[in-house]
Amino acid sequence: MSADKHVMALFENDVRAASAIEGMAGSPWKLERVHSPIPSDKILHALKTKKSKLGYFTLAGGIIGFFSGIGLSIYTATEWHLIISGKPVVALIPFLIVGFEFTILFAVFGNVLGLLFQTNLPEFKSLRAYDERCSGEHFGLLASCAEGEEKRLVAYFQEKGGEARLI
Protein backbone atom coordinates (compact mmCIF):
# COMPACT_ATOMS: atom_id res chain seq x y z
CA MET A 1 0.00 0.00 0.00
CA SER A 2 2.49 2.58 1.08
CA ALA A 3 4.91 1.31 -1.55
CA ASP A 4 2.50 2.37 -4.26
CA LYS A 5 4.10 4.26 -7.07
CA HIS A 6 2.41 7.21 -8.67
CA VAL A 7 2.52 8.10 -12.32
CA MET A 8 1.35 11.39 -13.75
CA ALA A 9 0.31 11.31 -17.40
CA LEU A 10 -0.38 14.42 -19.44
CA PHE A 11 -2.55 14.41 -22.54
CA GLU A 12 -2.99 17.17 -25.01
CA ASN A 13 -6.67 16.67 -25.57
CA ASP A 14 -9.53 15.24 -23.60
CA VAL A 15 -10.43 12.55 -26.15
CA ARG A 16 -7.13 10.76 -25.53
CA ALA A 17 -7.42 11.28 -21.80
CA ALA A 18 -10.94 9.85 -21.83
CA SER A 19 -9.85 6.77 -23.79
CA ALA A 20 -6.97 6.25 -21.37
CA ILE A 21 -9.42 6.37 -18.48
CA GLU A 22 -11.71 3.88 -20.14
CA GLY A 23 -8.80 1.60 -20.88
CA MET A 24 -7.89 1.52 -17.21
CA ALA A 25 -11.25 0.07 -16.25
CA GLY A 26 -10.23 -3.57 -15.92
CA SER A 27 -6.62 -3.02 -15.00
CA PRO A 28 -4.84 -3.49 -11.63
CA TRP A 29 -3.88 0.17 -11.63
CA LYS A 30 -5.88 2.70 -9.71
CA LEU A 31 -6.88 6.06 -11.07
CA GLU A 32 -6.33 8.55 -8.27
CA ARG A 33 -7.07 11.91 -9.81
CA VAL A 34 -7.92 13.54 -13.10
CA HIS A 35 -6.97 17.18 -13.66
CA SER A 36 -8.17 19.35 -16.48
CA PRO A 37 -7.91 23.03 -17.36
CA ILE A 38 -11.56 23.10 -18.46
CA PRO A 39 -14.59 20.97 -17.60
CA SER A 40 -14.81 18.17 -20.13
CA ASP A 41 -17.94 16.17 -20.85
CA LYS A 42 -15.94 13.34 -22.36
CA ILE A 43 -13.85 12.85 -19.26
CA LEU A 44 -16.86 13.05 -16.98
CA HIS A 45 -18.58 10.50 -19.17
CA ALA A 46 -15.58 8.18 -19.11
CA LEU A 47 -15.45 8.43 -15.34
CA LYS A 48 -19.14 7.56 -15.10
CA THR A 49 -19.70 10.24 -12.50
CA LYS A 50 -23.06 10.73 -10.93
CA LYS A 51 -24.90 14.01 -11.10
CA SER A 52 -23.80 16.59 -8.60
CA LYS A 53 -25.93 16.95 -5.48
CA LEU A 54 -25.08 20.61 -5.20
CA GLY A 55 -28.59 21.62 -6.14
CA TYR A 56 -29.96 20.36 -2.85
CA PHE A 57 -27.75 22.75 -0.92
CA THR A 58 -28.92 25.63 -3.07
CA LEU A 59 -32.56 24.65 -2.74
CA ALA A 60 -32.28 24.25 1.01
CA GLY A 61 -30.69 27.68 1.23
CA GLY A 62 -33.45 29.17 -0.87
CA ILE A 63 -36.23 27.71 1.21
CA ILE A 64 -34.60 28.77 4.48
CA GLY A 65 -34.08 32.23 3.00
CA PHE A 66 -37.67 32.63 1.91
CA PHE A 67 -39.09 31.79 5.31
CA SER A 68 -36.41 33.79 7.11
CA GLY A 69 -37.14 36.89 5.07
CA ILE A 70 -40.86 36.73 5.52
CA GLY A 71 -40.46 35.64 9.12
CA LEU A 72 -38.10 38.48 9.98
CA SER A 73 -40.43 41.04 8.42
CA ILE A 74 -43.51 39.69 10.16
CA TYR A 75 -41.74 39.38 13.50
CA THR A 76 -40.31 42.88 13.42
CA ALA A 77 -43.63 44.36 12.30
CA THR A 78 -45.51 42.75 15.16
CA GLU A 79 -42.91 43.83 17.71
CA TRP A 80 -43.89 47.47 17.47
CA HIS A 81 -47.00 47.67 19.57
CA LEU A 82 -48.33 51.00 18.41
CA ILE A 83 -50.50 51.06 15.32
CA ILE A 84 -49.15 53.61 12.89
CA SER A 85 -49.80 54.33 9.22
CA GLY A 86 -52.69 53.11 7.18
CA LYS A 87 -51.10 49.91 6.06
CA PRO A 88 -51.82 46.56 7.69
CA VAL A 89 -49.24 45.61 10.32
CA VAL A 90 -48.51 42.33 8.62
CA ALA A 91 -48.61 43.17 4.92
CA LEU A 92 -47.61 40.39 2.62
CA ILE A 93 -47.23 42.51 -0.48
CA PRO A 94 -44.12 44.41 0.61
CA PHE A 95 -42.84 41.51 2.70
CA LEU A 96 -42.68 39.37 -0.45
CA ILE A 97 -39.84 41.57 -1.66
CA VAL A 98 -37.83 40.98 1.51
CA GLY A 99 -38.62 37.27 1.27
CA PHE A 100 -37.50 37.18 -2.35
CA GLU A 101 -34.17 38.89 -1.68
CA PHE A 102 -33.45 36.64 1.27
CA THR A 103 -34.34 33.62 -0.87
CA ILE A 104 -31.71 34.56 -3.42
CA LEU A 105 -29.14 35.47 -0.79
CA PHE A 106 -29.48 32.26 1.17
CA ALA A 107 -29.71 30.17 -1.99
CA VAL A 108 -26.37 31.65 -3.03
CA PHE A 109 -24.93 30.92 0.42
CA GLY A 110 -26.20 27.36 0.02
CA ASN A 111 -24.61 27.26 -3.40
CA VAL A 112 -21.22 28.41 -2.13
CA LEU A 113 -21.27 26.25 0.98
CA GLY A 114 -22.36 23.30 -1.13
CA LEU A 115 -19.51 23.96 -3.53
CA LEU A 116 -16.98 24.14 -0.70
CA PHE A 117 -18.28 21.00 1.01
CA GLN A 118 -18.64 18.93 -2.11
CA THR A 119 -15.27 19.88 -3.59
CA ASN A 120 -13.47 19.95 -0.24
CA LEU A 121 -12.00 23.31 -1.08
CA PRO A 122 -9.79 24.92 0.18
CA GLU A 123 -7.39 22.00 0.07
CA PHE A 124 -3.72 22.22 -0.66
CA LYS A 125 -2.65 18.57 -0.42
CA SER A 126 -3.34 17.86 -4.07
CA LEU A 127 -0.75 20.43 -4.99
CA ARG A 128 2.01 18.12 -3.85
CA ALA A 129 1.52 15.52 -6.54
CA TYR A 130 0.49 17.89 -9.28
CA ASP A 131 1.77 19.00 -12.62
CA GLU A 132 1.39 22.68 -13.30
CA ARG A 133 0.68 22.14 -16.93
CA CYS A 134 -2.69 20.76 -15.92
CA SER A 135 -4.09 24.24 -15.61
CA GLY A 136 -2.63 25.19 -18.95
CA GLU A 137 -3.12 23.04 -22.00
CA HIS A 138 -2.91 19.50 -20.68
CA PHE A 139 -5.26 17.02 -19.12
CA GLY A 140 -3.52 15.18 -16.30
CA LEU A 141 -4.17 11.68 -15.00
CA LEU A 142 -2.64 10.58 -11.73
CA ALA A 143 -2.61 6.83 -11.38
CA SER A 144 -1.14 4.59 -8.75
CA CYS A 145 0.15 1.09 -9.15
CA ALA A 146 1.94 -1.55 -7.11
CA GLU A 147 5.71 -1.66 -6.87
CA GLY A 148 7.22 -2.94 -10.10
CA GLU A 149 4.29 -2.04 -12.28
CA GLU A 150 5.44 1.53 -13.01
CA LYS A 151 7.09 0.78 -16.32
CA ARG A 152 3.98 -0.93 -17.63
CA LEU A 153 1.84 1.96 -16.48
CA VAL A 154 4.10 4.51 -18.09
CA ALA A 155 4.13 2.49 -21.29
CA TYR A 156 0.36 2.22 -21.26
CA PHE A 157 -0.02 5.96 -21.00
CA GLN A 158 2.53 6.61 -23.67
CA GLU A 159 0.70 4.22 -25.93
CA LYS A 160 -2.46 6.19 -25.33
CA GLY A 161 -0.75 9.31 -26.54
CA GLY A 162 0.32 10.99 -23.34
CA GLU A 163 3.61 11.80 -21.71
CA ALA A 164 4.04 10.02 -18.41
CA ARG A 165 6.44 10.29 -15.54
CA LEU A 166 6.87 9.04 -12.02
CA ILE A 167 5.96 11.32 -9.18
Contact residues toward another protein (CB under 8 A) are: 14, 33-40, 43-44, 47, 49, 52, 54-55, 58, 69, 72-73, 76-77, 79-80, 85-87, 91, 93-98, 100-102, 104-105, 107-108, 111-112, 114-115, 118-127, 130, 132-137
Closest CB to another protein among 29 and 102? 102
Bin 90: left if φ > 0, else alpha if -120 < ψ < 50, else beta: beta
Both ends of the chain: CA-CA distance in Å?
Answer: 16
Q: How far is the CB of 109 from another protein (least distance, A)?
A: 8
Which is nearer to another protein, 44 or 146 (by Cβ)?
A: 44
State the CB neighbour count (10 A cutoff) for residue 14.
Answer: 21
Question: Residue 27 or 111: which CB sits closer to another protein?
Answer: 111
How far is it, in rounded angstroms, from Cα 63 to Cα 69? Answer: 10
Closer of 137 and 151 to another protein (Cβ): 137
Q: Residue 137: which of 37, 42, 43, 39 has the closest Cα?
A: 37
| Shortest separation between residue 148's beta carbon and another protein, angstroms | 27
Residue 49 C-beta: closest distance to another protein, Å: 6
Nearer to another protein, 95 or 146 (CB): 95
CB atoms within 10 A of CB 72: 14
CB of 147 to another protein, least distance (A): 25
Write down the least CB distance from residue 77 to another protein, Å.
6
Phi/psi zone of residue 24: left (φ > 0), alpha (ψ -120 to 50 degrees), beta?
Answer: alpha
Torsion of CA 149, 151, 157, 160, to 10 degrees: -110
